Amino acid sequence: MFRSVLLMFLAAFTLTAAAQDDANQIATEALHKIAPNAKVQSVRQAPLAGFYSVVADGHPILVSSDGKYLIEGHVVDIAAKRDIMEDGLAGVRRAALAAIAADKKVTFAPPHPKHRVTVFTDVDCPYCRIFHSHIAEYNKLGIAVDYLFWPRSGLDTPSYDKAVSVWCASDRKRAFSEAKHGLDPKPAHCDNPVAHDYQLGIDLGVDGTPTIIAVNGAALNGYADPIQLLQWLSEVPGPRDGG
């Protein structure tokens, strides 16, 4: 009996895996006809019948299951009042951020957080500085903030160098807060995750700072004050504290 059930399970898994392989091939081939160098990050069944939800180079698109049509932009589920294009990208974000070790982030958190967000930040970004000026208030509301570096001007720039110096400082959190107040960190060099964070941001669709991402992968582009952020997090479905 057990053997029969096991064989049925394996057969079902094989069919599912085969279907996924077909979906990957169809979506990838269709996309590469338009963008030959695009990196496909995720392919899954879309809530829109006859389409796959695809994430490529940090951008969500829909590809028809026959490989003939591609949709880019907003596709809104009217009843749910949400953009289904974000579903696939949220999944990619969720998995990628969950894989980052705690010691690869700059974290400001209360003792027992109720919510957790990852914030892609630029040392020189004015709104990022405003955000961090309220860090005690976010924490008081139960929001833990994990910072990743995303120098908007790119790598090998003054903002990138400042981010590296902050990371390599003997007191990283103090150097971070001082940089957010406009004080240039003492130049320093060491092994650091800044270039990794920057590329990760691109892969996750980040195109500006601050970009705030909830545990479930939902993203909020731009500044939100403490009350606004708490309200947004309270409306986000799924896990909130990373536990």
More confident residue, 13 or 191: 191
In this predicted structure, what is the pLDDT of residue 240?
60
Please give the helix or strand (H or E) that residue 212 lies within, else none: strand 211-214
- Mean pLDDT for all residues in the chain: 90
Q: What is the pLDDT of residues 57-94, one digit of tens each?
A: 989 999 999 999 999 988 898 988 888 888 889 999 99
> Which sign does the torsion angle of CA 58, 63, 69, 71 carry?
negative
- Claim: this prediction has a pTM higher than 0.85: no
Q: How confident is the model at residue 125 (pLDDT cuts 50, 70, 90)?
A: very high
Lowest pLDDT segment from 13-17, 53-57, 149-153: 13-17
Round to whole Å and give the CA distance between 241 and 37.
Answer: 36
User: Distances from the Cα of 20 to the Cαs of 10, 14, 27, 130, in angstroms?
Assistant: 15, 10, 10, 44
Residue 56 near residue 31 (C-beta atoms within 8 A)? yes
Round to whole Å and give the CA distance between 196 and 28.
Answer: 25
Q: How confident is the model at residue 3 (pLDDT cuts 50, 70, 90)?
A: very low
For residue 118, the cross-strand partners are 146, 213
> Which sign does the torsion angle of CA 35, 65, 218, 221 carry?
positive
Measure the CA angle with vertex 174, ends 128 and 111; round to 5°: 85
In this predicted structure, what is the pLDDT of residue 238?
67
For residue 53, the cross-strand partners are 44, 62
pLDDT at 1 over 60: no
Round to whole Å and give the CA distance between 3 and 226.
Answer: 56
Q: Quick one: tokens of 157? A: 């720039």
Q: What is the pLDDT of residues 13-24, one digit of tens each?
A: 443 666 777 888
Strand order in the sheet with 143-149: 106-108, 143-149, 115-121, 211-214, 219-221
3-state SS assignment for residue 144: strand
Q: How confident is the model at residue 8 (pLDDT cuts 50, 70, 90)?
A: very low
**Domains of the chain: residue spans and CATH:** 2-84 (3.10.450.70), 98-235 (3.40.30.10)
pLDDT at 241 over 80: no
In this predicted structure, what is the pLDDT of residue 13?
42
The CA-based diameter of the chain, rounded to the nearest angstrom, is 70
Nearest to 205 by CA among 87, 75, 89: 89
In this predicted structure, what is the pLDDT of residue 242?
62
In this predicted structure, what is the pLDDT of residue 237?
76
For the chain, what percent of residues have pLDDT higher than 90? 76
Q: What residues contact residue 178 under an 8 Å CB cut-off, 6+ apart?
A: 185
Round to whole Å and give the CA distance between 35 and 25.
Answer: 15
Contacts of range 49-52, beta carbons closer than 8 Å, 24 or more positions apart: 52/23, 52/26, 52/27
pLDDT at 200 over 60: yes
